[in-house]
Chains A and B, each alone.
Chain A
Amino acid sequence: MSGQINRLSGGRRINPEKPLRFTFDGKSFVGYEGDTLASALLANGVTFVARSFKYHRPRGVFTCDPHEPNALVQLRNGARQEPNIPATMIELYDGLEASSQNRWPSLRFDLLSVNQLLAPIFVAGFYYKTFKWPAKFWTKIYEPVIRRAAGLGRLSGKIDPDSYEKTHHHCDILVIGGGVAGIEAARVVAQCGARVTLVEEHARLGGLDSAGFEDSIARLEAMENVRILPRTMVFGWYDDNTFGAVEQVSDHLEVPGANQPRQRMWKIVTKQVILATGAHERSLTFANNDRPGVMLASAAERYIREYGVRPGRRAVVFTAGDKCDALVETMREAGIELAAIVDASKGEEIEDVRGSTAVRAVTLRGPDGRTRTIACDLVCVSGGWNPAVQLLAQRGQKPRWSENHQAFLPQHMAGDDFLCTGSLAGLETRADCVAHARMTGALAAHRYSCPASANLAEFYGFLEKAEASAARHPFFESAVGGSKKFIDLQHDVTRGDVALATREGYRSVEHVKRYTTMGMATDQGKNSNIHGIAAMSKSLGKSMGQVGTTGFRPPYRPVSIGALAGRSRGRQWRPILRTPLHGWVEEKGGVFVESGLWHRSQYFPEPGETMQQAIKREVLAARNTVGFCDVSTLGKIDLQGPDAAAFLNKVYCNGFAKLPVGKARYGLMLREDGIVFDDGTVTRLGEEHYFITTTSAESDSVLSHIEFCHQVLWPQMDIALADVSEDWAGIALAGPHARSVLQRIAPDMDVSNDAMPFLAAREGTILDGVRARLFRISFSGELAFEIYVPARHGRALAEALECEGQEFGITPYGVEALDVLRIEKGHVSSELNRFTTASDLGLGMMMSTKKDYVGRTLSARPGLADSDREAVVGLKPLDPSHSFRQGAHIFSKGAAIAPESDDGYVTSSAWSPTLGSHIGIALVRRGRERLGEVIEIVDPLHGERPVPAEIVSHHFFDPENERVRS
């Protein structure tokens, strides 16, 4: 295979014994173990790897870093396909498949590169200027066409087959960055015995150049109190020294190993942090500075030295003033011809870069204004260094412009719990970085042992001296050259765009960023912001420091949604709550439905039965013989104390002072703003002992609310509350034979109508000595009891009911039948929708006038007492077979179907087997005055024909309450 035409010998990371095959855009190549996709492509002479975002210009590998702006590729195929991955961060593995993005139909022949001709349209703010009107153009033209033209890679649309996990980690000292500064700081601080964690985003430690530090790394790795996390990127610094990091556990493999996650999210809590995040080399602004073959000087040097790759054969170096000695020496050793060094500090500039899919030549302009053209295929750019201040800026630091360093440095190099070192702190030589890092490590160790006495004078002194002696030449852009001077390679923002934005009146760097989209791509401005600031500085006549940087928020680099979700997906996306009867329901073939976190029994189909048939059978059983239903999901609160009755009087709108022992009462709870919050029952078990039930949906919020009432509003009340929801299993037993069945399972208790009338409550033992609470409460409208037993006996209770009720035709029913029964009876439930008042619900008479309670005063506000409000009524279609849905709207006959004439909406609907008709409950404007009126139920959302229906009382079934008292 002719293959690796640009491979040199001696790449430090490369193992030439291990060739690896890979494909790019379907073409096969070979690289070596140790390569990245970027280095392997360069070794194979592939320098044109992408099309740009807006103009579809040819682009090549620009950096050796995670914030690569050009060489973004789509990695893998099928469900594992991942878009927008920097080729510079993809560790090569055998069989790797990648493809270029943002081109159609192919990289070389890209029809959309016609966008380049439209460049005058795609200027700063073009979204705001172009797409104002007409509105329908958005969906027809702008979205489909422009979005297609401007974009990155695509997701597969399939479910990610890999797993992601989360972990927590605690340490004494966290070192961020595994370059030489991080290594040395970690090694020194670890000698004090503290638990040290070193996080490095690359696969191995060493940073830009680790030559000579192999020993240090080995010693660090051998320390037992040191944990090294390679391939891990700290993306956020949160309150109380909490850090978010993502470890790319198996991204460097074709497929994760058995039981291996693809990525792992770390939540790291530390006492101190040493920031050694380093610095990013920056480019320069000149015409056609985006051509494939234009590359950062440090990247070119690293490709040669670390990967044994020749990024070009004949190079021009363009520098802001740095001598680039290391690069020159490396190129010489590699046999790369150095055609020219263009040093801006000597008045030399690049005026233009020739070539389209590859650099062919550059035009130079000397201090005398004379130009000459030099053939070359590589332009190495050295614009200076940007310290990686992003994490510090997340904590609110405003980076400080240093004129000497020509860079934004950390505003504060140290704080109570953090220290900055290395090139992040502005240090320019390796010797300085190492010396200061050791000093920093010793300081952190000192703080760890005796926090109070650390002296930072030496630490600061070192940095001040380094800054005083720094003398970077201020240079950011060539004064000459054409229009295509790119500032943001990834978003195709040019020097002209920034100039236009300032001409149009933009003054703040934050506004220019948003208007031009500079710095808003996946590299988050790591390549571009500094040049945008420099351009603004020039246009506005302000200093770099006056323009300032934009704010930085987490994440430092893009984080995959999978890592954020972790295990919370599919069945694990949230917890599941199961009642004590869950296993029994399963054995009975019951169907479950999710209701909040609960899995509740929905219905119990007999063989061959449809859901509707099952519900009908279950409802008729409760009406005609006897049925039972799991109600364990209700919230249950135990309330005790001398002030319990007074407390209940405060939290419920109806009175509880006179509730006798052994009686239950329906209670209605309001919010302080007067809206209904929840309903349930309160049972007085003893002089100072009450048992409260709440709805299943609101059980947590009610508990929180009444704890607030107790602890905050009325702390002087002598009561105690306990959430006993999980302690009790509850079953509702309903139907004409309910008492007979109950008597059989509770032979020791008198459950006759005299001994236990409607709303009576008794404690006793049932089955074979199981402690139980029996409440004669009915939600169905039938003679009914709620039976509570300790949760562990729930199943036994269900089995006993089934067995003893057999001769009465006992039938278990689920929440569907439960809902039908309560709609037939006219009990409100889904009508408590956080918009309704007690009066809306037909429960206005429950609101006591004799006491203060939560919600009393504000429920009297004119808007809540307005007679024009929607009130609860029943709906009966004129044709009983006409169905309608919850959510359908109510209109007067003949009224226009428009929001202005909307008269309310359906809150509950069901087929009533008892009445042989569809029925519903609705909130209808002035509903109680409109009984007998025929209205129309309208449901355009589901495309259904209007259903004419009569407004009736919502107490469809047994309005005299004879059955519940029988």
Chain B
Amino acid sequence: MRIPCPLCGARPLEEFVYRGDATVTRPEEGAPMEEWVSYVYLRNNPKGAHREHWRHVAGCGSWLIVDRNTLTHEITRVAEVRPSGDAR
């Protein structure tokens, strides 16, 4: 598998680390415990389209949002989570 890093180009899987679901958002300060528990522990395990966090750890170090099909491994979109440089 190769991931097209927006900064480095298509790079092999070995250069990246996977974190997980990119659709969860950290609750606001003071949010009830249930929201935090669900943020940290509860995940869907979709078959098909998924939005994920990957880090190009052996490259630019960017955290990326990767739209990946968990069934086919097809990657449809990759973006920096925090746009760098001119993109900001």
Q: Which residues of chain A have a CB within 8 Å of any CB of chain B? A: 238-240, 242, 396, 672-673, 704, 707-708, 710-713, 715, 852, 857-858, 860-861
Shortest B63–chain A CB gap in Å is 4
Check: B73 CB closer than 8 A to any chain A CB.
yes
A708 touches B61 (CB 8 A): no
A-B contact pairs, 22 of them (CB 8 A): A239-B2, A239-B13, A239-B73, A240-B1, A240-B2, A240-B73, A242-B1, A242-B2, A242-B12, A396-B72, A672-B39, A672-B40, A673-B40, A708-B55, A710-B82, A711-B82, A712-B53, A712-B63, A715-B81, A852-B29, A860-B33, A861-B33
> For A857, what are the chain B residues with a Cβ–Cβ distance below 8 Å?
27, 31, 33, 36
A704 touches B1 (CB 8 A): no
Q: Which one, B2, B36, B61, B73, contacts A858 given CB within 8 A?
A: B36
Q: Which one, B27, B40, B63, contacts A708 given CB within 8 A?
A: B63
B1 touches A715 (CB 8 A): no
> For B12, what are the chain A residues with a Cβ–Cβ distance below 8 Å?
242
The 8 A CB mask of B65-88 against A (1 = contact, 0 = none) is: 000000011000000111000000
Q: Which bracket fits the contact residues of B?
A: 20 to 34
> For B27, what are the chain A residues with a Cβ–Cβ distance below 8 Å?
857
> For A710, what are the chain B residues with a Cβ–Cβ distance below 8 Å?
82
> For B37, what are the chain A residues with a Cβ–Cβ distance below 8 Å?
858
A704 touches B55 (CB 8 A): yes
A707 touches B1 (CB 8 A): no
Interface centre among B17, B39, B61, B80 (most CB of A within 10 A): B61
Q: What CA separation (Å) do A115 and B72 show in the bound complex?
A: 47
**Chain B residue at smallest Cβ distance from A715:** B82
A713 touches B40 (CB 8 A): no
Q: Which one, A238, A672, A673, A713, contacts B1 given CB within 8 A?
A: A238
Shortest B76–chain A CB gap in Å is 14
**Chain B residue at smallest Cβ distance from A722:** B61
Q: What CA separation (Å) do A858 and B35 show in the bound complex?
A: 10
Interface centre among B13, B17, B19, B26 (most CB of A within 10 A): B26
Interface centre among B30, B41, B81 (most CB of A within 10 A): B81
Q: What CA separation (Å) do A711 and B60 show in the bound complex?
A: 13
**Chain B residue at smallest Cβ distance from A852:** B29
**Chain B residue at smallest Cβ distance from A858:** B36
Q: Which 9 A-B pairs have the closest CB atoms?
A: A852-B29, A715-B82, A239-B1, A711-B82, A711-B63, A857-B36, A239-B73, A240-B2, A712-B81
Q: Which one, B2, B13, B17, B82, contacts A712 given CB within 8 A?
A: B82
Shortest A855–chain B CB gap in Å is 10
CB-based A-B contact count at 8 angstroms: 53
The 8 A CB mask of B7-22 against A (1 = contact, 0 = none) is: 0000011000101000
B62 touches A711 (CB 8 A): yes
Check: B57 CB closer than 8 A to any chain A CB.
yes
Q: What CA separation (Å) do A829 and B39 show in the bound complex?
A: 29
A707 touches B61 (CB 8 A): yes
Q: What CA separation (Å) do A122 and B37 show in the bound complex?
A: 52
Q: What CA separation (Å) do A621 and B40 show in the bound complex?
A: 47
> For A707, what are the chain B residues with a Cβ–Cβ distance below 8 Å?
55, 61, 63
Given contacts A238-B1, A239-B1, A240-B1, contact A711 B81 (CB under 8 A): yes
Shortest B16–chain A CB gap in Å is 11
Q: Which one, A704, A713, A860, A861, contacts B17 given CB within 8 A?
A: A704
Interface centre among A710, A711, A713 (most CB of B within 10 A): A711
> For B19, what are the chain A residues with a Cβ–Cβ distance below 8 Å?
708
Q: What CA separation (Å) do A704 and B72 show in the bound complex?
A: 28
> For A672, what are the chain B residues with a Cβ–Cβ distance below 8 Å?
26, 36, 39-40
Q: What CA separation (Å) do A704 and B80 show in the bound complex?
A: 15
**Chain B residue at smallest Cβ distance from A716:** B82
> For B36, what are the chain A residues with a Cβ–Cβ distance below 8 Å?
672, 857-858
Interface centre among B1, B2, B36, B62 (most CB of A within 10 A): B36
Q: What CA separation (Å) do A712 and B61 show in the bound complex?
A: 13
> For A238, what are the chain B residues with a Cβ–Cβ distance below 8 Å?
1
Given contacts A857-B36, A858-B40, contact A704 B57 (CB under 8 A): yes
Shortest A948–chain B CB gap in Å is 42
**Chain A residue at smallest Cβ distance from B84:** A711
> For B40, what are the chain A residues with a Cβ–Cβ distance below 8 Å?
672-673, 858
> For B55, what are the chain A residues with a Cβ–Cβ distance below 8 Å?
704, 707-708
Q: What CA separation (Å) do A238 and B72 show in the bound complex?
A: 11
> For A711, what are the chain B residues with a Cβ–Cβ distance below 8 Å?
62-63, 80-82
Q: What CA separation (Å) do A711 and B2 show in the bound complex?
A: 22
> For B13, what are the chain A residues with a Cβ–Cβ distance below 8 Å?
239
> For B62, what are the chain A residues with a Cβ–Cβ distance below 8 Å?
711
**Chain A residue at smallest Cβ distance from B10:** A240
Q: What CA separation (Å) do A708 and B57 show in the bound complex?
A: 11
**Chain A residue at smallest Cβ distance from B64:** A711
Shortest B80–chain A CB gap in Å is 8
**Chain B residue at smallest Cβ distance from A713:** B26
Shortest A171–chain B CB gap in Å is 16
**Chain A residue at smallest Cβ distance from B39:** A672
Task: A707-B55, A715-B81, A857-B27 are known; give 12 further A-B pairs, CB within 8 A.
Answer: A239-B2, A239-B13, A242-B1, A673-B40, A704-B55, A704-B57, A708-B53, A708-B55, A715-B82, A857-B33, A858-B37, A861-B33
**Chain B residue at smallest Cβ distance from A700:** B57
Shortest B49–chain A CB gap in Å is 16
**Chain B residue at smallest Cβ distance from A238:** B1
Q: What CA separation (Å) do A293 and B68 show in the bound complex?
A: 54
> For A673, what are the chain B residues with a Cβ–Cβ distance below 8 Å?
40-41
Q: What CA separation (Å) do A711 and B62 show in the bound complex?
A: 8
> For B63, what are the chain A residues with a Cβ–Cβ distance below 8 Å?
707-708, 711-712
**Chain B residue at smallest Cβ distance from A673:** B40
> For A861, what are the chain B residues with a Cβ–Cβ distance below 8 Å?
33
Q: What CA separation (Å) do A861 and B30 show in the bound complex?
A: 14
Q: What CA separation (Å) do A245 and B21 show in the bound complex?
A: 33
Q: What CA separation (Å) do A240 and B74 show in the bound complex?
A: 9
Q: What CA separation (Å) do A857 and B31 show in the bound complex?
A: 9
> For B39, what are the chain A residues with a Cβ–Cβ distance below 8 Å?
672
Q: What CA separation (Å) do A672 and B13 show in the bound complex?
A: 27
The 8 A CB mask of B37-48 against A (1 = contact, 0 = none) is: 101110000000
Interface centre among B31, B39, B63 (most CB of A within 10 A): B63
Q: What CA separation (Å) do A242 and B73 show in the bound complex?
A: 13
Q: What CA separation (Å) do A860 and B33 show in the bound complex?
A: 9
Q: What CA separation (Å) do A472 and B63 show in the bound complex?
A: 57
Q: What CA separation (Å) do A857 and B1 show in the bound complex?
A: 38
> For A396, what are the chain B residues with a Cβ–Cβ distance below 8 Å?
72
Q: What CA separation (Å) do A707 and B81 show in the bound complex?
A: 11
Shortest B61–chain A CB gap in Å is 6
Interface centre among A238, A708, A712, A713 (most CB of B within 10 A): A712
> For B80, what are the chain A residues with a Cβ–Cβ distance below 8 Å?
711
Q: What CA separation (Å) do A712 and B81 show in the bound complex?
A: 6
Interface centre among A708, A715, A852, A857 (most CB of B within 10 A): A857
Shortest B12–chain A CB gap in Å is 8
Shortest A788–chain B CB gap in Å is 23
Shortest B51–chain A CB gap in Å is 13
Shortest B21–chain A CB gap in Å is 12
> For A860, what are the chain B residues with a Cβ–Cβ distance below 8 Å?
33
